[in-house]
Amino acid sequence: MNLDINILKRISEQYGNSFYLIDTEQFKKNFLELQEAFRSIYPNTHIAYSYKTNYTPVLCKIVNDLGGFAEVVSDMEYEVAKRIGVNLNKIIFNGPYKNSLAVTEVLLSGGIVNIDSLYELPLIERIAKDNPNKNIQVGVRCNFDIGENEISRFGIDVNSEEFETALHWITSIKNMELSMIHCHFATRKLESWFFRVKGMLEIVDRHLKVIPRFINLGGGLFGKMDEQLKKQFNTYIPSYQDYAKTVAESFAVRFQEVTAPKLILEPGSALVGDAMKFVTKVVSIKNIRGKNIATLQGSVYNINPTLHGKNPPIKIYHTNEHPKIMCRDLDFGGYTCIESDYLYRGYNGYIAVGDYVVFGNVGSYSIVLKPPFILPNFPIIDFNEETVELKIIKEAETFEDLFHTFIF
């Protein structure tokens, strides 16, 4: 995404002083590269894009056009999948809460619903018994030890009676198939993937009489990132190839028969993180008791709503609207009235009011977790660097968008 000040001014004149730039070609490249890294070792690998990470419809449609699955955790995301034309048998419904109407439609259309707790069983049993001529495909989300200190709250403990109950219940209903076993852990460390594979293969050997058609290892992969962002992590940042070697080689050794199960990955950040930038302008610069602070027409909630405290990669584009100031240890503050709203801390360099600050690696969770606090969200523009073509992907939110459900 080759930007210059003239392009930024052009976009700003048309869409405002703050906006997201989306690189759909980079997103597509990431999808194909990750897929190829795994398929070169275990050909029966498939990607189910995590809608919750960034459900911008144009991205979801790219995944569908490339043959990927849709991984959804709400009826809202399920509706996105339907509207962009996803075949319902390529939908995987996860999550601790599931809308009954959406679950019913997914199951009767050949999609897969992964059971997160025993409380979901009565609903799925009713659907199966009310539709005896339908093959109902379900999965079980498995929770086991991968060597992390924090215990995940998702899934069913594979060493519990509840897990055996779920498996027995599924196999006891004639028109129901355990087509998937699923796991997902928040950690992105490479070693955790070794334990995921080990745990899932042990489940196949210890608990299942038939190898399921899908073994789903969930998401939680690092994506591509700028070196200055990598340095802020206290762990090695694996490549797609690193993950593939750890995971796919074990599958290739274990499943050599023709009917080998499909290996499913559910990446979100690994595909979309570096495919978006956030652009905003400097509103003011001041010094408070020796501390340099620049206020932006943007917020940490636009770029980093998970508040992990890391500085994203940035680049300054000077407009020459005001004289540049050489600043040391300058913090970029947001437009909100929250004291902790800082987008970046410790900038050293020239800056001026009116300059553009471009933040990289903001594609993950920025759009979906941005609250309607102080200002509505900004537009998203697809920027093609080869043709310098601008295409609006999401309009700027307005007062009416936020308040039309309130009663005045």
pLDDT tens digit sequence for 268-297: 999 999 999 999 999 999 999 999 999 999
Mean pLDDT of 145-162: 93
Mean pLDDT of 148-158: 92
* CATH 2.40.37.10, the chain: domain bounds: 5-21+274-403
Please tell me whether the overall predicted TM-score, pTM, comes out greater than 0.75 for this model. Answer: yes
- Three-state SS string over 74-92 comes to CHHHHHHHHHCCCCHHHEE
| Residues 6 or more apart in contact with residue 378 via CB below 8 angstroms | 16, 18, 19, 20, 298, 302, 396, 397
Is 9's pLDDT higher than 60?
yes
pLDDT of res. 383: 86
Band of the pLDDT at 309, cuts 50, 70, 90?
Answer: confident
Band of the pLDDT at 387, cuts 50, 70, 90?
Answer: low
Of the candidates 159, 223, 197, the residue with the CA atom closest to the CA atom of residue 27 = 223
The CATH code for residues 25-272 is 3.20.20.10
pLDDT of res. 386: 64
pLDDT of res. 401: 95
pLDDT of res. 2: 75
Contact call for residues 19 and 11 (beta carbons, < 8 A)? yes
Across the chain, mean pLDDT equals 95
Joined together, the tokens standing for residue 28 give: 């597509």
Domain 5-21+274-403 belongs to what topology?
Lyase, Ornithine Decarboxylase; Chain A, domain 1 (2.40.37)
Is 103's pLDDT higher than 90?
yes
Per-residue CA distances from 307 to 123, 337, 353 (Å): 37, 16, 26
Cα separation, 53 vs 14, whole angstroms: 28
**CA 308-8-229 angle, 5° bins:** 25
Name the 3-class secondary structure at 340.
coil
Mean pLDDT of 122-141: 97
* CATH 3.20.20.10, the chain: domain bounds: 25-272
Is 1's pLDDT higher than 60?
no
Mean pLDDT of 211-236: 94
